[in-house]
Amino acid sequence: MEGDNPEKNEEELREIAQKLKSLIDVASKKLDEINRVLKKGNPGGASKSTNTNPVQQIGNKTVPSFLKNAVRKSEQIPPTRKMVKEPSPDGDFVNAEIRKVTSGIPKLDELLTGGIRTASNVLLLGPPYSEKYMLVWNFIASSLKESIPVVVITTDKDINEIKYEVKQIYQNVEEAEEKGLLNFIDAYSTSIGAECPSEYAIVLESLTNVSALLKSLDQIVRSIRSKYPYYRLIFSSLTTYATELDEKILIKFVQQYAQKRKNENGVTMNVLESALFDNRLVEAISYLMDGSIEFKNEGAKGFLRVEGLGSVRSREWIEIYPLGTSFDLGAFTLEKIR
């Protein structure tokens, strides 16, 4: 119930305090105007009584006395900040101010000036055999380590393959799935005529039925949000839908999917093989996202660059140095770039 939620009550008090301060500023300006008019009508400026003045001085503001106590109380309340509940290691919720989340790659977090903003859709764009899936596996693993729920939509990979890759970084994958922290929507098994290897996954009978996909995703997210205020999602991959769907249907689907994830405070990574499509389609999908991390290969070397996603340290191509199950990045400027 609302009365049982101290965080919500505290936030409401902050909002009331801010509104009172705004009213006080307006009242103070009006009072100054009135005093100027009265002084013109009373050049002597003499006051009939020093004890009936309804105006008090608080700080550097002149305010009506009936608002004096409200101002003093409001000044004791810290400025409003968006607060969410974050699960602690023992499963309880603790208060935390969440602005960015880790990508799972420390040097990439540094490039992104602290990580990926909450309520963001990120496009992972690049050719086959680039390091984009290495980023995906680390993003899943880091989320599970923090007990953050993860949803994986797979259209091109077997669930056991995904689990295997994540296990190289985080061992307790099976346990996470049993607890409902790792959730799968399987659109791959049916497409190859195989049985889904997970008893917990939602299996889609048709790859091109985007309505069924969205309904299945809503079902999982409702369950997650009954326990957690946010989640993370992997879409592997948009490539399958881009090749199977009419372009107009695809764009409408991506738009609906992306907007809902933002509204739910989700952070998503969405994989797209860039070499298979013309620039116009890639740009259309990119436009519906909050930004992209683009990968490329030049001979034996790999590179990435960031588009959008707020302030970053560099917009240039930066060399990738694989490190087993993770990767490091080459040098980049320490200057923030928007």
Cβ contacts of 96 within 8 Å, gap of 6 or more: 83, 84, 85, 86
Q: What is the pLDDT of residue 18?
A: 67
* Lookup result for tokens 């960015």: 100
pLDDT beyond 50 at 155: yes
Instruction: List pLDDT tens digits, range 279-321.
Output: 899 999 999 999 999 999 999 999 999 999 999 999 999 999 9
pLDDT beyond 70 at 119: yes
Instruction: List pLDDT tens digits, range 211-248.
Output: 999 999 999 999 999 999 889 999 999 999 999 999 99
pLDDT beyond 50 at 103: yes
* Lookup result for tokens 């997970």: 198
Give me the helix-helix angle, 210-225 and 247-263, nearest 10°: 10
pLDDT beyond 80 at 334: no
pLDDT beyond 90 at 86: no
What is the maximum span of the chain, computed from C-alpha positions, in angstroms?
A: 97
Confidence tier at 10 by pLDDT (50, 70, 90)? low
Distance, CA of 207 to chain centre: 27
Q: Where would I find the beta strands (DSSP E) of 68-159?
A: 84-87, 93-96, 100-101, 116-117, 120-126, 150-154
* Lookup result for tokens 């296990």: 167
pLDDT beyond 70 at 271: yes
Which of 54-63, 184-193, 252-261, 307-316 has the weakest average pLDDT?
54-63
Which of 131-135, 183-187, 264-268, 271-275 has the weakest average pLDDT?
271-275
Q: Is 126 helix (H, G, I), strand (E, B) or coil?
A: strand
| Per-chain mean pLDDT for the chain | 82
User: Boundaries of CATH 3.40.50.300 in the chain?
Assistant: 100-329
| Phi and psi angles of residue 219, each rounded to the nearest 5 degrees, phi first | -60, -45
Q: What is the pLDDT of residue 206?
A: 92
196 vs 78, more confident: 196
Nearest CA to 53 out of 37, 35, 71 is that of 35
Give the Cα separation of 336 and 311 in Å (integer).
Answer: 6
Confidence tier at 75 by pLDDT (50, 70, 90)? very low
* Residue 275 near residue 127, CB atoms below 8 Å: yes
59 vs 259, more confident: 259
Q: What is the pLDDT of residue 99?
A: 79
Confidence tier at 94 by pLDDT (50, 70, 90)? very low
125 vs 37, more confident: 125
Give the Cα separation of 275 and 126 in Å (integer).
Answer: 7
Give the Cα separation of 286 and 279 in Å (integer).
Answer: 10
User: What is the per-residue DSSP string for 147-194?
Assistant: T--EEEEESSS-HHHHHHHHHTT-S-HHHHHHTTSEEEEE-STGGGT-
Q: What is the pLDDT of residue 88?
A: 42
75 vs 137, more confident: 137
Strands 291-298 and 301-308: antiparallel
Instruction: List pLDDT tens digits, range 33-71.
Output: 666 666 655 555 444 444 444 444 444 444 444 444 444
Residue type, 165: E
Confidence tier at 95 by pLDDT (50, 70, 90)? very low
Q: What is the pLDDT of residue 78?
A: 37
Provide, rounded to the nearest whole percent, the portion of the chain with pLDDT above 70: 70
Distance, CA of 282 to chain centre: 22
35 vs 80, more confident: 35
Class of 100-329 in CATH: alpha beta
* Residue 24 near residue 69, CB atoms below 8 Å: no
Q: Is 338 helix (H, G, I), strand (E, B) or coil?
A: coil
Using alpha carbons only, give the angle 201, 120, 325 rounded to the nearest 5 degrees: 65
Q: Which two tokens stand for residue 61?
A: 């503001």
Residue type, 61: K
Confidence tier at 15 by pLDDT (50, 70, 90)? low
Give me the helix-helix angle, 68-75 and 6-41, nearest 10°: 140
Which helix (H) or strand (E) segment holds residue 17: the answer is helix 6-41
* Lookup result for tokens 């000044």: 75
Q: Which two tokens stand for residue 134?
A: 């290495």
